[in-house]
């Protein structure tokens, strides 16, 4: 049961703005959007570290806070690049050996870029 206040934003009975109003603010105001990105990206990295399905969930989170599907897709690809960078940093000195395993590295790169992009497409549903 929501009430409409004088400014036209949705509020619940406690006076807090509803999820739709907060989400609209995150999608339209640049400062709120970047703050949401700073929250979502570390959560996505933790989820991706736990399981590969975390890449899809992280892409969905990035897409969910994006103003359009296309912005969400670009953001998810950017998240994939961050995942690859963190992965390379985590490998340390053994990066060279991993890069020499050409067919296996292709799966890693495509997964890191493609799975978040797949998750970001959920923005089209919401």
2 against 97, higher pLDDT: 97
Task: Report the predicted TM-score, pTM, of the whole model to 2 decimal places.
Answer: 0.80
Burial label, 32 (beta-carbon count in 10 A; 0-12, 13-18, 19+)? middle
**Rounded Cα distance, 100 and 78, in Å:** 24
> What does the alpha-carbon distance between residue 32 and residue 93 come to, in Å, rounded to a whole number?
38
62-100 confidence digits (pLDDT tens) = 999 999 999 999 999 999 999 999 988 888 888 888 888
pLDDT of residue 124: 85
- Residue pLDDT, tens place only, 18-69: 888 888 899 999 999 999 999 999 999 999 999 999 999 999 999 999 999 9
Q: What is the pLDDT of residue 73?
A: 95
């Amino acid at each position: 049961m929501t009430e409409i206040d004088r400014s036209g934003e949705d509020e619940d009975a406690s006076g807090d703005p509803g999820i739709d109003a907060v989400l609209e603010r995150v999608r339209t105001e640049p400062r709120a959007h970047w703050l949401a990105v700073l929250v979502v990206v570390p959560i996505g990295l933790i989820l991706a570290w736990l399981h590969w399905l975390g890449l899809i969930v992280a892409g969905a989170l990035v897409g969910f806070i994006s103003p359009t599907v296309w912005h969400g897709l670009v953001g998810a690809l950017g998240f994939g690049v961050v995942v690859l960078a963190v992965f390379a940093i985590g490998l340390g000195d053994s990066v060279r050996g991993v890069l020499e395993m050409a067919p296996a590295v292709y799966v890693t790169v495509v997964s890191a870029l493609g799975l978040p992009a797949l998750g970001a497409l959920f923005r089209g549903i919401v």
